[in-house]
Amino acid sequence: MIADLLLAAAILAVAVASILARRTFTAVALFIAYGLLLSLAWVRLSAIDVALTEAAIGAGLSGVLLLGAVRRLASRAEAPANPPPGAAMTVLIGIACACVAAALGAVILLLPEPAPSLAPQVAANLPTTGLGNPVTGVLMSFRALDTLLESAVVLLAVICVWSLTPDGGWGGAPGAAQPILGDGPLLLLARILPPLGIVVAVHILWVGKDAPGGKFQAAAILAAMWLLPWMAGLVAPPRIAARWLRLTVAVGPVVFIAIGLAGAVTEGAFLAYPPGWAMPLILVIEIVLTASIAVALALLVIGPPVPEP
Amino acid sequence: MDWGLLPVLAVMLPVLAMVLALPLGARGAERMTLAVLPIGLALAVGIAVVVQRTGAPIWHQLGHWAPPLGIAFRADGLSAAMLVTTAMVVAATAIFARAEFGTPPGAAERRQAFAFWPLLLAIWAGINLLLVANDLFTLYVGLELLTFAAMPLVCLDGSRATLEAALRYLMFALLGSVLYLLGVALIYGATGTLDIVLLSQRVTGQPAVVLAIAVMTAGLLAKTALLPLHLWLPPAHAGAPAAGSAILSALVIKGSFILVLRLWFGVMAGQPMPGAAQILAGLGAAAILLGSVAALGQARLKLLVAYSTVAQIGYLFLMFPLLAAVPEASEVAARAWTGGVVQAVSHAFAKAAMFLAAGIMAARFGHDRIADIGGAGRAMPVTLLTFGLAGLSLMGVPPSGGFAAKWLLLSAAIGAGQWWWALVILGGGLLTGGYVYRVLAAGLRAGEKSTMAPAPLAWSRDGVALGLALISVVLGFLPLAAFGLLQVGRLDLAP
């Protein structure tokens, strides 16, 4: 109980400090710490799947993206800031925000106790899927449509990032050229970690059917194992015009949609799995999606191609 | 016969096409998009025919899992009308966009051409999902698809000004997403379900649900650009390429608007909120008057059309207090509902036509300063005619679709005893006439021909724009009985 209170206080303190920080680098560092503390909170709430995702995506990949943004901002001239609102406006905004926060706090305390939950229904229906992890059951069977569409959103995000390519860069290798390191901890990590990380990712993907884990977490780790050697200057990313690269990003959602349509034909409902086939089909989707999402996440962090100077 | 798969296919067809567009590349994606357009249109028309014939919404439970555990699709009359509208506007803009974003055989892939086709398909998928999904979280995914496809469309030309406009749009849109998601979490915590039909039965005015609806509405208004949250819209819609502006103004803002309707008259079907509805319509009235006045004062054509969108969005929100004031099953409620939806449909056609016409003129002149478009009437009469016809519908001149919408809203306002909205509708129509006249008068003046680009652009572009404008006018000829379709499946009517 005391540990939980300390954790909650630490989360709030880090969040406030991140907002108040004067330097962008400090703010980003605190934000990463905030993500890690948040994932601890999820662990305390017994939501291990959420904790894994929060740590991998919320703190890890978002952190790398934000650090990259800090580096780019440092090399630019100071942008003209909008004039701050006047004193009366500041007070008004403060009062309005306080009212919204108080109302949210009040209704959360008023929520019914025990909270209405679908957990018993999930548990009752989980055996038909052949899975042991209820979270995977929700993501891949009961609410499989949301997962399918989110995987399409990840692909759309790649198109989004590539559409921001500056003139003259189209078709080339994504991301700014990384400095070649002669020596140092990053180079060492980039050489040692990937084999270990890949094994961990495969493990997390495989246990996802029965225990916390699954494709998003595995894909985030795999993406990191690609990004490390890239940041250390050991590997160059493929050109965005490469057909195999685009196919890899697309194959996961395509397979998912194809299996969904097959369910519509044979079972009469989109994303219905034939009896006895649920588990193997879900495994196929998870494996292919892991590859697609891992490549997509890495491409999102690396960014659009930069024209040769 | 089970028609349940029709709405599923209407969503999955553009999703699959968008995914395939990435490996196919710009030229393959363009050809595939043109190939799936007729299929998507046929699916939408099929849904409309089935809903009209059976007089009941089409249902489909994904994976045979019934809500609240699973997700259901539900296509009602509102969905059907908007699905057909969306398919037609997307098809028209796709044909229009070939001249700008097409890739001739053998040509190298260009950035703009690569991005445009999947973005168009993603917007189509997102809107179709928002129209048929019946689950608040699935609807959130639809909002995400829409936002992440619309934002890059704004800055497709890559200039500094459009990047700034896109970034500002993204800030507003993400604020809207966060507020919406917050509401989803509150509603699940209070009721244990996210299915709109189940919620319409379970919601009894719990404080958590009321607060959730308030923050979600605020977030969706930011995405819909209702005044005072409209600041992002004019630079974004005016800066996008013509085909992009047409899609953004005609369709994208309607996606989040339909979701507001689903919240107020679906989730809260049994809980009318007349006070809040007056505020919403008050903002709408302010948007109509201030947006039209701002349009009158614009020096650039595309900005004028964008401010006209700010104003026309206002009309959509006039239906809220009218529906809240009268019994659900009354004639007045039916008129208000139909009027609001017909406004959304006719504005979609008229505004798409107007932006495409403005794009043709801007391409021909090399600028879009209204003061300097003299000679347009002689050099491109069809384009100016398109602009004028679309303008008639926006003004609400009979017999256009805009007239039908505004007449229904006006008579519903009188019927509900809220005559002040009728004054707003009439005043807005006059102001709209003012800014449309400004453009037509400037275009009909004699001008120097030498300032124009000599080569006429593909005639199909003028044809497409004129077609859209004609549809927005012909909508007014549809017998009002046809709009019985729009009443099918209204959740506030359900026993």
Mean pLDDT, residues A84-92 = 87
Mean pLDDT, residues B410-415 = 91
Cross-chain residue pair B70–A142, CB shorter than 8 Å: yes
**Residue B357 belongs to what H/E stretch?**
helix B331-365
For B74, which DSSP code? E
pLDDT band at A110 (very low <50, low <70, confident <90, very high): confident
- Do you find a cis peptide bond into B479, omega within 30 degrees of 0? no
Q: Which residues pair with B58 in a beta bridge?
A: B75
Cross-chain residue pair B125–A249, CB shorter than 8 Å: no
Mean pLDDT, residues B117-122 = 96
Structure tokens at B199: 């919620």
In angstroms, the separation between the Cα of residue A190 and the nearest Cα of chain B is: 30
Structure tokens at A258: 């194809």
Domain ranges of chain A: 1-76, 83-116, 120-309
Q: Cα–Cα distance between B475 and B403 in angstroms, integer?
A: 9
Mean pLDDT is lowest, of A83-92, B33-42, B446-455, for B446-455
With contact defined as beta carbons under 8 Å apart, do B296 and B434 qualify?
A: yes
Q: Which residues of B touch A254 (CB under 8 A)?
A: 16, 19-20
Q: Is B129 on the interface with A (CB under 8 A)?
A: yes
Structure tokens at B285: 């009235």
With contact defined as beta carbons under 8 Å apart, do B479 and B110 qualify?
A: no
Chains A–B, number of C-beta pairs less than 8 Å apart: 163
Mean pLDDT, residues B413-436 = 92
Of A98, A306, A308, A133, the closest CA to residue A212 belongs to A133
Structure tokens at A271: 């994303």
Q: Is B158 on the interface with A (CB under 8 A)?
A: yes
Q: Which residues 54-93 of chain B have a CB within 8 Å of chain A? A: 60-65, 68-71
- The pLDDT assigned to A81 comes to 65
- The pLDDT assigned to A150 comes to 94
Mean pLDDT, residues A59-87 = 79
Mean pLDDT, residues A15-42 = 91
Cα end-to-end span (Å), chain B? 26
Q: Name the residue of chain B whose CA is nearest to A107's CA.
A: B208
Of B250, B213, B120, B231, the closest CA to residue B173 belongs to B231
Furthest C-alpha separation in chain B: 68
Q: Cα–Cα distance between A192 and A184 in angstroms, integer?
A: 13
Cross-chain residue pair A254–B16, CB shorter than 8 Å: yes
Mean pLDDT is lowest, of B27-41, B291-305, B408-422, B437-451, for B437-451
Of A200, A219, A198, A220, the closest CA to residue A287 belongs to A219
Q: What percent of chain B has pLDDT over 70?
A: 96
Q: Cα–Cα distance between B88 and B90 in angstroms, integer?
A: 6
Mean pLDDT, residues B129-143 = 96
pTM summary value: 0.94
Q: What is the dihedral of CA B253, B396, B289, B255, to 10 degrees?
A: -10
Pick from B4, B15, B118: CB nearest A159: B118
Cross-chain residue pair A164–B61, CB shorter than 8 Å: no
Cross-chain residue pair B152–A267, CB shorter than 8 Å: no
Q: What percent of chain B has pLDDT over 90?
A: 66
Cross-chain residue pair A163–B119, CB shorter than 8 Å: yes
Strand ranges, E, within A31-146: none
DSSP string, A249-285: HHHHHHHHHHHHHHHHHHHSSTTPPPTTTHHHHHHHH
Q: What is the dihedral of CA B474, B477, B483, B486, to 10 degrees?
A: 20
With contact defined as beta carbons under 8 Å apart, do A173 and A237 qualify?
A: yes
- Do you find a cis peptide bond into B399, omega within 30 degrees of 0? yes
Mean pLDDT, residues A132-161 = 92
In angstroms, the separation between the Cα of residue A298 and the nearest Cα of chain B is: 16
- The pLDDT assigned to B458 comes to 66
Q: Is the pLDDT of residue A303 over 70?
A: yes
Of A209, A67, A69, the closest CA to residue A132 belongs to A209
Q: Is B114 on the interface with A (CB under 8 A)?
A: yes
Q: How many CA atoms does the CB half-sphere of B296 hold within 13 Å?
A: 13
Of A294, A158, A155, the closest CA to residue A223 belongs to A294
Structure tokens at B421: 């909205």
Domain ranges of chain B: 1-132, 135-271, 298-495
For B267, which DSSP code? I
> Tokens 């004609």 — which residue?
B470
For B320, which DSSP code? H
Give the amino acid at A130.
G
Pick from A160, A167, A270: CB nearest B5: A270
- The pLDDT assigned to B483 comes to 64
Q: Which residues of A touch B60 (CB under 8 A)?
A: 269-270
pLDDT in tens, A195-212: 898 999 999 888 888 888
Rounded to the nearest integer, the mean pLDDT of chain A is 88
Q: Is A214 on the interface with B (CB under 8 A)?
A: no
In angstroms, the separation between the Cα of residue B83 and the nearest Cα of chain A is: 19
Q: How many CA atoms does the CB half-sphere of B333 hold within 13 Å?
A: 15
Q: Is the pLDDT of residue B493 over 80?
A: no
Rounded to the nearest integer, the mean pLDDT of chain B is 90
Structure tokens at B30: 């363009």
With contact defined as beta carbons under 8 Å apart, do B301 and B368 qualify?
A: yes
Q: Left (φ > 0), alpha (ψ -120 to 50) or beta: where does B158 sit?
A: left
Pick from B64, B115, B138: CB nearest A267: B64
- The pLDDT assigned to B495 comes to 46
Crossing angle, helix B253-262 and helix B111-132, to 10 degrees? 10
Q: Left (φ > 0), alpha (ψ -120 to 50) or beta: where does B25 sit?
A: left
Cross-chain residue pair A269–B208, CB shorter than 8 Å: no
Q: Is A128 on the interface with B (CB under 8 A)?
A: no
pLDDT in tens, B55-105: 889 999 998 998 899 999 999 999 999 999 999 999 999 999 998 898 888
pLDDT band at B487 (very low <50, low <70, confident <90, very high): confident
Other Cβ atoms within 10 Å of B121 Cβ, number: 29
Q: Is the pLDDT of residue B481 over 70?
A: no
Of B489, B343, B488, B340, the closest CA to residue B413 belongs to B340
Who contacts A82 (Cβ-Cβ below 8 Å, separation ≥6)?
Answer: none
- The pLDDT assigned to B57 comes to 92
DSSP string, A40-70: HHHHHTT-HHHHHHIIIIIIIIHHHHHHHHH
Q: Cα–Cα distance between B128 and B149 in angstroms, integer?
A: 14
- Residue B266: burial class (beta carbons within 10 Å; 0-12, 13-18, 19+): buried
DSSP string, B168-205: HHHHHHHHHHHHHHHHHHHHHHHHS--BHHHHHHH-S-
Q: Is the pLDDT of residue A147 over 90?
A: yes
Structure tokens at B41: 């249109």
With contact defined as beta carbons under 8 Å apart, do B252 and B123 qualify?
A: yes
Q: Is B15 on the interface with A (CB under 8 A)?
A: yes
Cross-chain residue pair A160–B8, CB shorter than 8 Å: no
Cross-chain residue pair A159–B119, CB shorter than 8 Å: yes
Tell me the backbone φ, ψ of residue A239, rounded to 5 degrees. -65, 145
